[in-house]
Structures are given as structure tokens and as C-alpha cells.
Amino acid sequence: MAKKNSLFIIAGFLVVGAVLSGCNRSLNSITPVAPPRALPSTPAERVSSNQLPPVNSNQQPPTEQSLASAPTTPENQKEAQNVQVTANSNQDSSSIKISREALAGSWQVPTDGLDCRIILAFTKWSGGYRAATRKCVSQEMQAVNAWDVKDQTVVLVDQSGNEIARLFAKQTGRYDGRTASGEAVSFVR
């Protein structure tokens, strides 16, 4: 009999425990809740845009004469080389307007091998926007990791911000120029 009573007590505790564990709702959660209030809309303002002034607009770019008279340092030599590349490349310039939007994407670089490609992205990167090359032969093209458009010129730079090449639009879908070492370089689609 005692055994039977203890079984009833254990069974009773189990039933009560099961009932209590299933009853986790309060009366507040059973009553219907009103939908949330709509938030007031924010006023739409007109978007405007203006051109920003160029950085260091009062500073003139160096010329070959000013660099020739400066003391010879690694920085001066490098800048003189960049000015020379610019002077050589400007002879090839044309009147086709260059835009970043038109340049973004993948380009063939036939002047650096049959399979050489450069990918110009809109991801901000030091020196402009992110660039990557694939299957290029020259070390100059392999070093390119950023690009930008400056004065209707496509400028390619390496990780340190050193200018690798400058290119100009020859026709729609083609850009030609020179590397810092004086080698010809072209992009085509």
C-alpha cells in the first residue's frame, strides 16, 4: 500500500510539473495587442551637388626646369621622371572626354602580353580607386594597384602611390599612353 501511495504521489508531482511547465503565458500575453503606431515620415530634402575645389589649388605642378634646378634627391628624381612621362604622354592626348564610369571594368592590355588584363574597380583605395592586373608580363603593370582620372588622363599607381603610367583616350574603348619607364601601354575592350 505504501508503495502504491508513493507511486500516486510521484505521478501527481509529474502531472503537476507537466501542467506548470506548459503554462508559461501570463494573462497579458493572451489579450490582443494593438498594432504599433506608424512612425511619421521624414521630410525629403532636395539633393544638390557642387564641384569641390582641387586639392592644393594654389600650388603649381613642378616643371622640368624647376626640377632640374632642385637638389638631386630620390624624390626629385622620381618626380622628374613623372613630369617626363606626363610631357611625353600629353603629345598623344585627344579631345575624347574620360569618365570613371566608362573606365570601370575589365580591359585587355595587349602591349604587355596576349593575356594581360587590368580590372578597374570603384572601390576607394589609396591613390584613387582599386585596380588589379592578371597575367601581365612587365613588373610595372604587375605593380599597379590603384587608378584615377586626373585632367582627362588615366593615371595608374602602385601601392606606394608612385605613378606607373598615364593614358589618354584615343577612341571610344581604347586608351594609349606610356609607363614611367617610357614603354608604350594600351587598354582596349
CATH of residue 174: 2.40.128.10
With CA atoms as reference, report the closest residue to 83 among 166, 6, 170.
Answer: 166
169-182 pLDDT, tens digit per residue, is 978 889 999 999 99
Domain tally, the chain: 1
> Residue 130: inside a domain, yes or no?
yes
> Residue 61: inside a domain, yes or no?
no
With CA atoms as reference, report the closest residue to 146 among 134, 136, 137, 156.
Answer: 156
Q: Which residue has the higher pLDDT, 32 or 177?
A: 177
β-pairing, 128-134 vs 146-150, is antiparallel
> Residue 78: inside a domain, yes or no?
no
Distance, CA of 137 to chain centre: 25
> Residue 116: inside a domain, yes or no?
yes
Return the pLDDT at 176. 95
> Residue 145: inside a domain, yes or no?
yes
Return the pLDDT at 43. 55
Contacts of 106 (CB under 8 A, 6+ apart): 117, 118, 119, 120
Percent of the chain with pLDDT over 70: 57
> Residue 177: inside a domain, yes or no?
yes
In this model, does residue 110 exceed pLDDT 70? yes
Rounded to the nearest 10 degrees, how much is the dihedral formed by the CA atoms of 177, 51, 160, 90?
20
- Taking the C-alpha atoms of residue 22 and residue 1, their distance in angstroms, rounded to an integer, is 32
CA 129 → CA 9, 23, 89, 123, 155, distances in Å? Answer: 77, 60, 21, 5, 10
> Residue 53: inside a domain, yes or no?
no
Residue at grid coordinates 583616350 = 169
> Residue 166: inside a domain, yes or no?
yes
> Which range marks the domain in which residue 157 is found?
96-188
DSSP 59: S
- pTM, full prediction: 0.52
Q: Which residue has the higher pLDDT, 97 or 26?
A: 97
**In 10 A of CB 108, how many CB atoms?**
16
